[in-house]
Structure 1
Amino acid sequence: MNNNYVTLQVADGTTMRAYTALPANVNENTPAIIVFQEAFGVNGHIRNVTDRFASEGYIAIAPELFHRTAPVGFTVGYDNFAAAMPHYAALTTESTQADIKAAYEWLNAQEADKSRIYSVGYCLGGRVSFLANATVPLKAAVSYYGGGTDALVDKAGELNGKHLFFWGGLDQHISKESIDKVTQAVTDAGKQFVNVVYADAEHGFNCDERPSFNEAASKESWALTLEFFEE
């Protein structure tokens, strides 16, 4: 596996660093994926997730979405959301779509199967993965506990690929009403999706660096994600 950083040119004139991980023996049949960060940056956990996808045979890229307001390589601890909040709040739909397109274009320029480009995101990234599916022609996309996705339901009709949602039944940050609003919008738009709620899981259940880590839910959701992409 080959992991590295690249610098992407974004359409609004900014530059964005991204972490990349490539499997061995990349060829025209290799699938590709964009991995979208949590609010805490492209930290060790997100890089590990990116590496895991590469180990499964995907060309993977994790863009630093806070590049307009934060220094290169910005990360904060899971106990310091306040430090991430100014950068989180500065994101706009339009600027995020520009970042999505830059990452997608990088993948599209690689020797890969252009018909099998996916996205996955966690927390903030779950929302961005939903937006990505409505912005670029992904084959499929996955959102883990994507807070704020209900603010993007007007994009449901623009989804390109099938979407998989994961939620925690004990999540104190995302209400059942918000989840229902998202799934109803996708249903009304006639788009294909799968909705999974882990009744005993909290927000951030996939991250083994957070107190809310749920090993059973994390393992099962990983297996379901890989199977979903292979369908």
Structure 2
Amino acid sequence: MNNSYVTLNVADGTAMQAYTVLPKNVNESTPAILVFQEAFGVNGHMRRVTERFASEGYIAICPELFHRTAPVGFEGDYSNFAGVMPHYSALTNEGLQADITAAYNWLNKQEGDKSRIFSVGYCLGGRVSFLANATVPLAAAVSYYGGGTDGLLHLADQLSGKHLFFWGGLDTHIPKETVDKITEALTYAGKQYANVVFSDAHHAFDCEDRPSFNPSASKESWALTLEFLRNN
């Protein structure tokens, strides 16, 4: 694999760094994926996730969504959410849509298959993946425990691709009522989606660097994610 950082020019005049990984033997049939960070930046976990998708044959890009307020390469501490709140709170849908478009445009300039561009996101990134599906023409999108997604349901009828959601049944941050609200909105909008709840999993069950890591839920959600992307 070929990994590197690139600097993207965003429409609002800002510059955004992104971690990119290209698989071997990229050609016109290679798919691509936008990978969206947790609230703790493009840290070691998110870089490994991006590399993991590239190892499965995807051109992968993970943009630094805090670029307007945080230094380049910012990584938050998992034990100090207050330390990332200034950057998290400064995010706007308009800014995120500009970031999404900049990263999407970068993927479109690569040699891969332009009809097979996907997105995936974790925590904060789960919400951004939903926003991406309503912002740029994706083949499909995946959201892992995307807190705040219920605040984007006015965009449900704009989703371009089928959406896969993962939730932890023990997640105290995202109650079942919120999940139901999201799926009901997509049903009402006539959008295709898949909704998976791991009953024994907490929030951030897919992050091996956090106490909430759930190995079985992580393994199974990865397998489902890959199959979902292949099918769409």
- Partner residue of 2:45? 45
- Write out per-residue CA displacement over residues 130-188 of structure 1, whole angstroms, 9 at most, x where no aligned residue: 00000000000000000000000001000000000000000011111111111111110
Cross-structure match for 1:81: 81
Q: What letter matches 1:54 in structure 2?
A: A
Q: CA RMSD in A?
A: 0.4
Match in the other structure for 1:113: 113
Partner-residue secondary structure (3-state), 1:6: strand
User: For 2:153 and 2:126, how far apart are their aligned partners in 1?
Assistant: 13
SS of the residue 2:111 aligns to: coil
TM-superposed CA distance for 1:126, in Å, is: 0.1
Q: What are structure 2's unaligned runs of at least 5 residues? A: none
| Aligned position for 1:204 | 204
CA distance in 1 between counterparts of 2:7 and 2:46 reads 17
Partner of 1:218: 218
Note the residue ranges of structure 1 that are not aligned, 5 or more in a row.
none
Query: Partner letter of residue 217 of structure 2?
Result: A
C-alpha distance in 2, partners of 1:220/1:12? 39
Q: In structure 2, what is the Cα distance between the partners aligned to 1:186 and 1:114?
A: 26
- Tell me the CA shift for residue 219 of structure 1: 0.3
Give, in whole Å, the separation in 2 of the partners of 1:215 and 1:155.
33
- Say whether residues 1:31 and 2:50 are aligned partners: no
Letter in 1 for 2:53: F
Deviation at 1:120, TM superposition (A): 0.1
1:93-143 deviation line (CA, Å, top 9, x unaligned):
000000000000000000000000000000000000000000000000000
Offset at residue 77 of structure 1 (A): 1.4
* Residue aligning to 2:62: 62
Q: Report the alpha carbon displacement of residue 87 of structure 1 after superposing the two structures with TM.
A: 0.4
SS in 2 for 1:24: coil
Compute the displacement of 1:213 (Å): 0.2
TM-superposed CA distance for 1:206, in Å, is 0.2
Quote the Cα distance in structure 2 between the aligned partners of 1:23 and 1:99: 23
In the alignment, the residues of structure 1 paired with residue 108 and residue 182 of structure 2 have an alpha-carbon distance, to the nearest angstrom, of 29
Q: Kindly tell me the number of residue pairs found equivalent between the two proteins.
A: 231
Task: For 1:79-228, list aligned pairs within 5 A.
Answer: 79-228=79-228
Kindly report structure 1 stretches of 4+ aligned residues shifted beyond 6 Å.
none
How far 1:221 moved relative to its partner? 0.2
Q: Please tell me the residue identity of whatever aligns with 1:41.
A: G
Question: In the aligned structure 2, how far is the partner of 1:224 from the partner of 1:182?
Answer: 20
1:92 to partner: Cα distance:
0.4
In 2, the alpha carbon distance for the partners of 1:36 and 1:80 equals: 20
**Deviation (angstroms), 1:76:** 1.0
Aligned AA for 2:131? L
**TM-score in terms of structure 2 length:** 0.99
Secondary structure at 2:201 match in 1: coil
Distance in 2 (alpha carbons) for counterparts of 1:196 and 1:100:
25
In the alignment, the residues of structure 2 paired with residue 139 and residue 210 of structure 1 have an alpha-carbon distance, to the nearest angstrom, of: 31
